[in-house]
Amino acid sequence: MATVINMPRLSDTMEEGVVAKWLVKKGDKISEGDILAEIETDKATMEFESFYEGTLLHVGIEEGETAPVDQLLAIIGEENEDISDLLNGNTTPNAESVKEEKVEELAPVSNQTATIPDGVEIITMPRLSDTMEEGTVATWLKKVGDTVEEGDILAEIETDKATMEFESFYNGTLLHIGIEEGQTAPVDVLLAIIGPAGTDISALKDGVPVTAAVQDAAPAKAETTVATSQGNGTSGGRIFASPLAKKIAADKGIDLSLVKGTGENGRVVKKDVESFTPSVTAASASTSQPVKETTSAPVVQTYTPAGEESFEEVKNSQMRKAIAKSLSASKFNAPHYYLTIEVNMGNAMASRKKINELPDVKVSFNDMVVKACALALRKHPQVNTQWTDVATRYAKHINVGVAVAVPDGLVVPVLPFTDHMSLTQIGAKVKDLAGRARNKKLTPQEMSGSTFTVSNLGMFGIQEFTSIINQPNSAILSVGAIVEKPVVKDGQIVVGNTMKVTLACDHRTVDGATGAQFLQTLKQYLENPVTMLA
């Protein structure tokens, strides 16, 4: 009987997907576990595997096409089977319903009936964020038979928001791994078993689910295809690598075909990419090979012959669509207005120079702005608010978010209780958060909970700009470059250094006079930095 496969929902925010590449074609024989296609979501490009065996009878969405979740993706059945009823919309129980039955087979371990031996601990896939429904084991840092102590890092787990280290709360020996590297499983599915060395746990493995990746959302399955003799994770032109390894390789510009995989069956994992050093031979060999077709966006031609008008369309990535959606919601729901003020930075420059003469101290102008904002929010609590349909929420704490550009877009790591931090503490914390943001090591907690946001483009020479409010905040400060220019001082024209800052406010919570008073206080702190120490 033919089975209908719909466009899967591969993330909690996914509403549509793009078929980046079909890895099989109509008429091909399909086995359970075969990768059917690579699907681009709003967060990543993920491999989509088959849970069924048969022949690919129909492809509903061609390469490069975008379709909403649950639209017909493909039909698998017996060779030459009549699927006209399915194509006409008469869909009997399809892949989604069967998928749900399969996922229910992966019941949480709390439902298991096997007796747990003394000293044995069952570890399940943890819920590492409030929206997490499933996780992918990016890397195991322990292997079966290793001694584990409380506090040891067992594995790195990819969630819907970040890749996070997962530590053990128990002492013992790692007796069993239920989810291999690269596999995806729902929260509460068996992850590992820890206990005394030599303990018989066969009943536990039979009594709890140990198969990890029986669901549409698996970004990658442990490949059963044997790798090539070079062990670089390739077979028949395909590269087998974990999702995290692919992402790191893309960020570093590394050709995965040159990386030797140490994972199962030669699969390339995170540590292989991080330790990879391109050799001269490899570089020359890679340049001599024909260029492979990829699914990345084509390079836009910059030259157009004179006398011709032309356009070239490049598809929007799912991530850019997600950014557009969230920013549009803020811009169109919150009535923005903007206030700009010019600050004399002469004293700030002199103060920063003195501070940075201290050993092991490095403070930036942005750190001074963040500190000044935190102190100004103390005096103007109306700016430290959030709008809801029934009430205005006044935050009694001050958490300043700092916008950081990353290759995939923009993230806002947060400094908790910023008003209680010194300039040097702010400088060290911002440096740490920004570095880990670019390496995708921030936890969801470190990117949530801001009550005010600072965005600084001054380092790019931008003198003045406006930002869109980072909801649910009521305001965001845009910081421009420090510019040397003529200023009037004591009736004389002298050379000065000034900086423009623009405050974007939500008029539902912050009136114009309130925003202006906040900027006046901010200016006083920046023009007289010593007052921030009072």
**Catalytic site includes residue 389:** no
Token pair belonging to 206: 């039979």
Q: E strands, 170-236, where?
A: 172-177, 184-186, 190-195, 234-235
CA-CA distance, 455 to 193, in Å (whole number)?
46
In angstroms, what is the C-alpha Rg of the chain?
A: 28
CA-CA distance, 193 to 172, in Å (whole number)?
10
Judge whether 218 and 206 are in contact, CB under 8 Å.
no
State the distance between the two ends of the chain, measured CA to CA, in whole angstroms. 77
CA-CA distance, 406 to 440, in Å (whole number)?
9
Instruction: Determine which one of 82, 85, 200, 511 is catalytic.
Output: 511
Max Cα-Cα span within the chain: 92
CA-CA distance, 190 to 212, in Å (whole number)?
8
Name which of 224, 290, 303, 305 is nearest 263 in CA terms: 224
Token pair belonging to 248: 């790191």
Token pair belonging to 238: 């395909």
Task: Give me the residue label for tokens 């020479």.
Answer: 461
Any residues with CB less than 8 A from the CB of 280 and at least 6 apart, and which?
Answer: none
CA-CA distance, 463 to 461, in Å (whole number)?
6
Instruction: Determine which one of 12, 408, 419, 507 is catalytic.
Output: 507
Q: How large is the angle between the packed helices 346-355 and 512-527, nearest 10 degrees?
A: 50
**Catalytic site includes residue 85:** no
How far, CA to CA in Å, does 87 sit from each of 73, 90, 156? 11, 7, 43
Would you name the residues annotated as active-site residues?
Answer: 507, 511
